[in-house]
Structure 1
Amino acid sequence: KEITARLINTGNTILNLISFLNVSKNCCNVFIPSSFKLNEREEKEFQIKIQIPLSTNVSEYPMKIGIGTEYFKKERTINIIVRVSYYHTSLSDMEEELRSLEEEIEEYKEAGINTWDLETLIGYSKILLSNANESISNDQITVLENSLSYLKNNIDAARSSLSSMRTQKFLLQNGWLIVLLIIMSMLTIYLVPQVFIPLYKIENEIRNLKSEEEILVSSRVETEKQYFMRKIDEKTFSNIMITKQDKILKTRASINEKEKEAKKIIETRLKPIGILRRLRESKPKVFKKKDEK
């Protein structure tokens, strides 16, 4: 950092001036001309060069600059404010990024993925990180810039490699879940047409048959009432009862058959062997046409 200052000789005498400087050693290096010669009414500019080492702590440092002779001196205080530099911020971010990468690489390793190349890259990056921190202590800005550049390239390369392995990691970590989903999908494809739909239809048929049975039984009871009340004769009563009883027996037989059919579906199609057999039978068959002679 350079600051331009100005001296003005307002008198009619030649001035031979010397500079005085007071600044904390923990702050920075300040360079200023040690002496000045000003002719009568001369105006002269000079540069104050401030060099702040990379290792300087963030703070505000007062700097006193004095110009004068052995008889008089004028002082001016300048506050030098040291803020966090781009290099420090970048280094801190990359250090955090490396820690995050190490944790992520460990997860990939635990999942069963070969991460040897990535671990080697991280090891080399740690050396660069150490060099960068050392260059701050030694105030070697060129070494620091090179280390940060290589570090960024390594971090980008590691991130790219991890991104390409993400699918593999997911499959390795969730293989059992994927297999389970496939099995469930296959079972659903099998159970819906082979079990659920047939059972649903049979249950509806049984429900309708039972309703029909109830109607027939109620009708038979009503016929008996009519007979006992002498509204119909014995012959008519007998014919009606025989007909209704025959229908009731047939309906009950149908209900029994449907219940057996439902039981058979459950017993044969829900057993593991039955499921495997049905799945094999459901595979598409390829028929080859024989060449006609």
Structure 2
Amino acid sequence: MPQHKALPRRGFLTRTAMLGGAVLAPGLVTACSRTQVGTGAPADDGELLAKLRRQGYVRIGFAGEAPYGFKDGNQLAGEAPTLHREIFSALGVGDMRPTLTDFGALIPGLLADRFDVVSAGMAITPERCAKVAFSEPEFVSPTALMVPKGNPKGLSDLKSVAAADITVGVLTAAVEATYAKGAGVADSSVKSLAKQQDGLDALVAGRIDAFALTGISLRWLAKTNTGALVDVLDPFVPLLNGKPQYSPGGAVFRPGATALRDAFNQELAKITGDPGHYVTLIGKYGFTEREVPPTTLRTTDLCAA
């Protein structure tokens, strides 16, 4: 797929994002260790994947955030679980056992060995890379604003929020809080919300003036709240320290689970390398070829940005 199709309205990739390489998260256990420090989980010189194959299931942590990972009736659904189900099946692990938790509790739960992988479309950031090991990007998605119908404040991006001195909602522990601060929005003007629906409800009730999230999430939220008097504005690329933030997301593993992460990446590359298959798998959740990450966008660079 031509790379210019993968990142509409995102400008050009940063110079570092054009480099290749494999990610090595800080704090990896040594090869001679048999368990991960603090969890007792298997040290991953291949042991963890072997264990998952023997038991026939992998424990999945998700946060109930559509369209990334959520329950549809009794079924685990969304972008991440759908991709991960195909990947783990290819790795010989046929079942996924989900644990629902708040978004901000996903990384602590992973590190505490409550689950083996986070399937939540979590954004890859240097701060998170210091704690956990990310897969290569599963998707790219720029940021957008949801606003009251008609966009009465005349907003366009987070800089316009800062200039208007109004209140913007973000999900607790999500990257949009950092983006807002980088755009000059005062801490007192950023309201944290536990769930996507809380953001739309707060907007409709007038408790916030805008809700910031990835454009694909906001479009899904508007679609599932037919009749809500809101608009989703055109996506934009936030800047942090002058660098564009493309909001790529991926699967999350414990720092020592590099062998499992690497096996996962091999199967993920087969999916992202076939845009038609990618869209067949997760198109129903609003993902298109525009969300396919280019091969030049690497986790090792995102973690070092």
TM-score range, shorter chain: under 0.3
Q: TM-score, normalised by structure 2?
A: 0.18
Structure with the higher fraction of residues in helix conformation: 1
Larger RCO, structures 1/2 (Cα 8 Å, 6+ apart): 2
Q: Which has the larger radius of gyration?
A: 1
